[in-house]
Amino acid sequence: MKKVRVLWLSLMACNGNTHSFLNYPHLESFLNDFEFIYHPVIDSNYSLEDIISKEIACDILLIEGAIADDFIKAGIPAVDIVKKYAEIAQTIVTVGTCATFGGIFRQSAYEDVSGLHFKEQNRTDKFNDVFEKTVSVSGCPIHPEVLVNTLYAIKKRLSLKLDSYLRPKEFFSYTVHNGCTRNEYFEYKVDKHNFGELEGCMFYDHGCRGPFTHGSCNKILWNEVNSKTRAGLPCMGCTEPDFPKQNLFSTKKNMGIPEHLPVGVSKRTYLTLAGITKAFTIDRLERKLFDD
């Protein structure tokens, strides 16, 4: 069967998405179905110089890293490479939060840094003509299974339902809160947490952004084993347009109320629920899980 031809183009990036992708547990099987015409790490048939000097046929263009007009790659403006292959490819996938929203490189010295179609939550018009054939897979880094499953959906020509940032709803209509093993602590407002430990919710004091961050980290576990919140670290909201935030390990509050509330929960509803939960003291949630 003919393999899908893929170009992985790395722009302003730390290559974290590349490394995350290499952790995909079934990479060998993936490479039986997909062929990289160029990848910055994986052996491929063409060099970067070939990609720039020629027009190589490809089905999917993967863009890793943020974009700026003054960013030069291999001696030419990187946006010129993007424009050439964005036109050739049938589908474009932005790989990671930098390629989707600009990410941490918005703070760099380059001018007007953005993702392919968004600068934080705002739509840009630089690549309007390829907007309709773009799919976004945000994350810092991307979850390898989310990327691979998205690529297989494209290969099989499945109709992907996308959110307003072009992210597949299959993976981004949930919040990271969905599937979190600490939800009972959240419900009863127990945040007696120490980093790395199993007990306590991290939303109220420790900066966890899981209740308002879209992603499947607690539904599709990393390395098929774990997630940040399961390991005892707060969700940092890395799939969202405003990532990265400052003070990642503390919850900003106004008059004792978290600045950001769970998706769909009003301040009045939050205060009502918080008042009710104060009436409960559940002894087993106050103790270590494995104490005898």
Report residue 187 as tokens.
């419900």
- Whole-number Å distance between alpha carbons of 28 and 207: 38
Backbone angles phi, psi at 114, to 5 degrees: -155, 175
Backbone angles phi, psi at 7, to 5 degrees: -110, 120
**Across residues 96-121, what is the average pLDDT?**
96
The one-letter amino acid at 26: H
Name 254's bridge partners: 257
> What does the radius of gyration of the chain's CA atoms come to, in whole angstroms?
21
| Ramachandran bin of 175, using left for φ above 0, alpha for ψ from -120 to 50, beta for the remaining angles | beta
pLDDT > 90? residue 20: yes
Per-residue pLDDT, 292:
59
Could you read off the pLDDT of 38-76 as tens digits, one per residue? 999 999 989 999 999 999 999 999 999 999 999 999 999
Could you read off the pLDDT of 206-218 as tens digits, one per residue? 999 999 999 999 9
Per-residue pLDDT, 142:
97
**81-105 b/e (C-beta count within 10 Å ≥ 16 → b):** bbebbbeebebbbbbbbbbbbbbbb
Sheet containing 134-137, strands listed edge to edge, beginning at the edge strand earlier in sequence = 34-38, 4-10, 60-64, 91-95, 134-137
pLDDT > 70? residue 107: yes
pLDDT > 90? residue 290: no
Q: What percent of the chain has pLDDT over 90?
A: 84
- In sequence order, what are the residues at sequence separation of 6 or more whose Cβ sits closer than 8 angstroms to the Cβ of residue 257? 267, 270, 271
* Mean of the per-residue pLDDT values of the chain: 94
- Determine if the pTM surpasses 0.85: yes
- Whole-number Å distance between alpha carbons of 64 and 20: 12
pLDDT > 90? residue 279: no
Minimal CA–CA distance to 239: which of 151, 155, 118, 62?
118
The one-letter amino acid at 101: F
pLDDT > 90? residue 26: yes
Per-residue pLDDT, 116:
98
